[in-house]
Structure 1
């Protein structure tokens, strides 16, 4: 414990030294009676319907830089990515085979550069950390502070990139208006330019440089654009704006300039669209000081909600993805049946089952998340849906993974096995490893006889040297091995895998006689690359191990598009890790951040069967067998899209 306290002290002192020469923070209130109103005070005093870009930006920029707080923040983030994050060294790889486009990224070097920089702006400091983490292209690695994510910026125009009449239109005809929320009649107008640059080039550049959910620019592009996503509340597909038109990050300027070409207008339309500003907080503040106190700063420990049994989340609960954006709003669909010939058979909290009436042998299993409120109950929904298919004489199943938000890897493995039952207990398991730091080693030792303390418990992992049995000692962590990756040496566990309980015999017996079970020719996957985490794992198993064909739709015509965005790890929140140390009565090597935050990182590295490159970077396993383009018809109707895939898959 003395050693751990020494590590904490040395990290903090180093970070403080880094900022000791920082320039003094500006005084947001010069003090003169004639001085302008405090920027956050002006923001607080403005009617929410009249908020402008400048109100938010001025408030953010007025927050004084605090070198002591910055030192604590940087010390903790550096420790996470130096000692805990599994892809710190892999991210230095200099090769990026298609469909990936990522360049080498030295996250430690970027963070150390921040430590050597002089800051006068607190907002700039936190934004630079965000950029360093986003540059990894790993959707599980996230840095956000509520201080600078309290307002959403939205455009009236949402965009998409259809191909017209099956042929790629010329470049300036590629981007179109999906929805003009101001209802000015611009729907499906061509967007020729954005800020005087070719529209598609502008969007692809933004997706490449400003969005960290994938190593594939075209998968990122699909996240940027409008889509139809399943809305659990209404049981229907609803329009969502995409992350280009709605974001929590501050845009570069107060407006976007568009040049539109509309078929019903003779002249091109020059349109300047200001960002709408939507508050996401109800916390009261009256000036910069109270904004920091009420919005930015984390609550004192005794003000925090109580923690059940000393842990923040039990390890068998679903693993949630932290999104690095505002959640997209939805446009409520009209009442009545949504699709003329796609009948809804059954819906749950993660899945929905449709039957194509004019292709009666085809059923569509829409899986839009793996984090339902009750994963165990969703297993029964999945079985009931498959039974409903069988009752309709369905023989072919299309699994629609578009926009799947990831979640429980156990539920993902269950769905895989419901279509391809395990022949071996580890068929739906990934060879995995973890970094071993001194604090993780001590945490693992203390966790070994306390099953609810943390994820780092050898009892939960398979000892490959002993068949499928779990570890009966702490050797997984006590006997790490040294691996060199891209010139860096780190300690790692031996290869292992998480031990999940087997799927109950009642489920396996129920699906054994279905006409599609374990038959790749009768199953297809449909994805737009917005299939993340646990969704990527299911996609990998079906395509790489069971030879199921996948169709990827969208992106840029004629270019590769990943089936899934990221899949090769599991995510852990900083607050959860701190809870694990507390439950083990350990002093954490990480200091809690002064600001309320959402910091996550990948803690478990996974590999494809027989592969040596971590799945996160194994681009070959992301490639689908088939590519499709969005059209004005299928982009607005999943029914049209499903029929197109079914016609191509099953002649």
Structure 2
């Protein structure tokens, strides 16, 4: 039996055909909550559980997931028999066997089945691998208290970061800064660590998972629309409420003085924020789950990527942009004040640079570095916290702005006869991204059509020839912009700052900065005393079924018998299709699974934790980081990390 308590990442949505359900209006639980701003857990659950399990839909869904994971997901075999890597939490997940079990289960509702699919993919701890059922991601569930983790009085504790008293009348603002000693009668720190290890699929590093389920005092991290932290879900939580035992500072004392009133225990319910656009179960199904057709293709799916990366402001956005220019907040250049006025911060919020923003991105970045040079900035902090990745060529540009060149990071793609057809047609038709890869050993489509075999787990798996991503078209558009390449700052003048929530392209960028260019890395937060990575899910490159189907359509391959079909309900699936190896170091053997960046632990060189002072004042935290940089207290640790 699989728990319905899963954690899924919001992705773009594929609208696909499904016969409409005609649901009786008698005691319609969706009609009861329609039009309300909030509902109780029980009311929301009744609506979500109202739609019956359909064996035909389940079988079609499982067949599509199985086709993608078996044929296209590059870590499918190694996930079933993963290596043991010190410092990483990796459990074996045989996706095919798990799908067999799910298929045999007599699920009580469609939601329970859909969530079981999402949960098993989440257990691989690869944030690129996700099944997102649109139908059951519409309600937003909140706990009225939000938590963070601090070092207080020499101990790591769970703390009430802030209280959302707009959701629940009994919530009290004075709970803010109370230490949470127990949750559901379990030691609070033990509970949140176990929760992070077992229930957060964002990373194989438990420190990153802990950071991902927590919030800070002054901002909601909002890394993605499917956040799976302790107080915010876009899926049905496992239980209706939680008991919190609070140890609150006496009136007039500061939390760090550790002078407490007698503990109190409060029961905090999950409160559901209700979506708009429906009036009953039938209209809910039609709006969020059911048929939306177009004449776009023979099958009639409307390929509509409707959800983009959602980045909500960084913890360190404490002043106006020093140069007065932003490019949709991709990066900000800030100079610290006071005695740290010779320290600059580049807040790299995202590499998801829209095509129409690329030129402005380069100009903004160049102006920022020129401003740093003019203001005599001597040390630079790269803040990658909360960066979910994006355009690999934007990451390449970032590295080359400080180090005039950097070695290619080589990668490969899992071989399948379907993708073989796609690559050959891509080169014939001069269409789709499958033309964007370059190889030092082959020409045109040969990089894919002449595969090689490597061992993954206990299985021999075919892969493409070694390839790297071509950024020639990206770079050529900015040849006249005189990008700022400088040797003004050396590696020991730079510092990577990361809470570990730096994924995909971001992870590849920071790994190259650290391993090739010797820029030290500082890990922020996490579990005290536990070695921490500064990057997450560096697997390589991901794909979504919605965009994959669009490529198939462009190449006239939608009717290929090996092609996956659209899901029978509105849903999308993401997966890693290109794996990346450690940067091209002398000891890196291409093709060997021990050198896969996804299954390596590249630890931070030094560490900093949240406290009552710096969690309340991001500017203070950044000055603490600046002190480390200026004093040289975060030196590069060879084969180490903390």
Which category of TM-score, normalised to the shorter sequence, fits these structures? 0.7 to 0.9
Gaps of 5+ in 1: 1-25, 314-319, 466-470
User: How many residues align structurally?
Assistant: 575
Q: Does 1:57 align with 2:48?
A: no
Taking the aligned partners of 2:218 and 2:417, their CA distance within structure 1 comes to: 44
TM-score by length of 2: 0.83
Distance 2:497 2:76 in 1: 32
Counterpart Cα distance in 2 of 1:275 and 1:150:
15
Alpha-carbon distance change, 493 to 635 in structure 1, aligned in 2, over 3 angstroms: same
Alignment check: 8 A CA contact 1:402 1:528 kept: yes
Aligned equivalent of 2:155, options 168, 193, 201: 168
The alpha-carbon distance between structure 1 residues 27 and 515, as it changes in their structure 2 partners (threshold 3 A), is: closer
Q: Tell me which residue corresponds to 2:27.
A: 37
Quote the offset at 1:175 in angstroms. 0.6
Mapping for residues 87-166 of structure 1, pairs under 5 Å:
87-164=75-152
Kindly tell me: are residues 614 and 90 of structure 1, through their superposed partners in 2, closer, same or farther at Cα, counting changes over 3 Å? farther
What displacement does 1:330 show? 7.7
State the partner residue of 1:283: 277
For the structure 1 residues 191 and 302, does the alpha-carbon distance in structure 2 shift closer, same or farther, using more than 3 Å as the test? same
**CA offset at residue 650 of structure 1?**
1.5
Q: Is the 8 A contact 1:383 1:507 kept in 2?
A: no
Q: Would the alpha carbon gap of residues 345 and 168 (structure 1) be closer, same or farther in structure 2, given more than 3 Å must change?
A: farther
Shift, 1:480, TM fit: 1.2
Shift of 1:346: 4.8
State whether residues 453 and 463 of structure 2, in contact with CA within 8 Å, keep that contact through their aligned partners in structure 1: yes
Aligned ranges for residues 210-225 of structure 1 at < 5 Å? 210-225=199-214
* TM-aligned CA deviation for residue 619 of structure 1: 2.3
Structure 2 residue aligned with 1:295, among 268, 288, 299? 288
Contact 2:58–2:103 (Cα < 8 Å) also in 1: no
Q: 1:179 aligns with which of 136, 144, 162?
A: 162
Please state how far the C-alpha of 1:193 moved relative to its aligned partner: 0.8
Question: What is the alpha-carbon distance in structure 2 between the residues aligned to residue 328 and residue 58 of structure 1?
Answer: 32
Query: Which one of the candidate residues 263, 272, 284 is aligned to 2:249?
Result: 263
2:639 corresponds in structure 1 to none
Inter-partner Cα distance in structure 1 for 2:336 and 2:311: 29
Match of 2:348 in 1: 367
Match of 1:352 in 2: 332
Query: Of the candidates 407, 414, 419, which is equivalent to residue 390 of structure 2?
Result: 407
What does residue range 308-327 of structure 1 map to in structure 2 within 5 Å? Answer: none
In the alignment, what sits opposite 1:576?
A: 547
CA gap 1:231/1:257 in 2 versus in 1, 3 angstroms: closer
Which residue of structure 2 aligns with residue 456 of structure 1? 434
Shift of 1:123: 1.3
- How far apart, CA to CA, are the structure 2 residues paired with 1:568 and 1:599? 16
Q: What is the Cα deviation at residue 122 of structure 1?
A: 1.2
Structure 1 residues 585 and 488: alpha-carbon distance in aligned structure 2, compared to 1, 3 A threshold: same
Distance in 1 (alpha carbons) for counterparts of 2:388 and 2:577: 19
Question: Which residue of 557, 563, 577 corresponds with 2:534?
Answer: 563
Q: Is the 8 A contact 1:416 1:542 kept in 2?
A: yes
Aligned-pair Cα RMSD in Å: 3.2
Match of 2:254 in 1: none
CA distance in 2, matches of 1:396, 1:101: 34
Secondary structure (helix, strand or coil) at the match of 1:57 reads: helix
Alignment match of 1:481 (pick from 437, 448, 452):
452
- The corresponding residue for 2:568 is 594
**Counterparts of 1:370-449 in structure 2 under 5 Å?**
370-373=351-354, 374-422=357-405, 427-449=406-428
